[in-house]
Structure 1
Amino acid sequence: MKLKIERFLFFSVLTFFLVGCQTNEGIQERQTDTSVETTNNLTEEEQEAIDNGYPIGKYRMFLSENNKKSTEEMAFFLENNFLEKNVLQIENQVDASKKVNVIVYSMRYSPEDERYTLGVFYVNTSDTNIKKVKLMAKPKFKTLGEEGEFGEIEYEGEDFPDLPTNGIVAKVISANAPISYLEKLKENTGDDITIEIKELEINGEQVENVN
């Protein structure tokens, strides 16, 4: 039986972490007043990171306009150094021969909903600023004999920043998976989960994912 993806759901990064994930311990839900206080007392360096990206080695983490509109999401990024630790953990998985890398950095599974949720980084390794991206994506799990099916993903406008070369943006993918897969899913660690992509479009132009 195929691990069928009936549809992709896209949530804020904050929503994903607040419901819990396996690779990020100790991240708890912040109270609204704490979030407001955090975003109302920005340092010059924090404002610079929000406006122009947060540097992490050769890469830079960017927020979408929708991220910036949410005090909770802003507080989350600020309190967790723009996911710097997660970026450093997946840095060796970035393939510079591709125009776009989609790399999984965290996963959780909800037995009640029979859904898995992946935290993913979109990394622009092309020589073009990406303002709009569309692609077909298929999760691949090392511990499963079956693969998922391709699902369409598209981001633009306030959901996606003007992403320069070596820019990164964090997103979330959720899809159906029967509870019979739970134990096998839990065995996946590190780079055991990969995302195969095809039919890539950058800024409205269909391209091969090769530099």
Structure 2
Amino acid sequence: MTAPVAALVVDRLSVTLGGRAVLDGLSLSAAPGRLTAVLGPNGAGKTTLIRCCTGLLSPDAGAVTVLGRPAGSAEVAARVGLMPQSTGAWSGIRAVELLEHLAGLYARPHDVDALVRRCGIDAFARTPYRRLSGGQQQAVNLAGALIGRPELVFLDEPTAGMDPHARRATWSLLDELRAAGVAIVLTTHAMDEAQALADHVYIVDAGRVSVSGTVSALTSGDQSLEDVFLAHTHGATR
């Protein structure tokens, strides 16, 4: 059986910001219908990696291929979704108005009302974004990343601030996306989340991949994913 063509290929990516090497020859890939988790301590380069993959930042060296095209290419922009850690620019707009605006940017968007229901936004759909709780903002951000029916979606700590019910509902939604063939690249500090969801894990430290593999391969023996993470990364006090 032929392996699926990678939706994302990051090849020896290097980025220096403020005189510090944020990414240092980092390589990884993500496949369609798979959830790829990128784990690392604060400052490891995860958000910078996503910015490079979505064309928001140009690397100093290396290359990123997204759906067969260079990162940031206009040809694939509508096929990629992004859920950043924060979207302060949304502050004054109501949640449903934001999604309706985003839907207008795509030729074949999801039905806004259906997505509002699926993401559990119904109760606060008419509330200004700035008045939403952190978990509610995350739900709106996730819906915004999915509105255009992406083939590849980047989720930067998607369940941060969510209560346990919303978190598990999001996990279920991610399972549905994966089953539909969407390539998902997810960053998280929640080891249980990565262990429950990920098909493949990359643990990043100081801008490099420290170790990678399936959850079962990384946690062989009695180790948890958190044990593996701690063994292959350094704290901020290094």
TM-score, scaled relative to structure 2: 0.27
* Structure number having the greater strand percentage: 1
TM-score, scaled relative to structure 1: 0.30
* Structure number having the greater helix percentage: 2
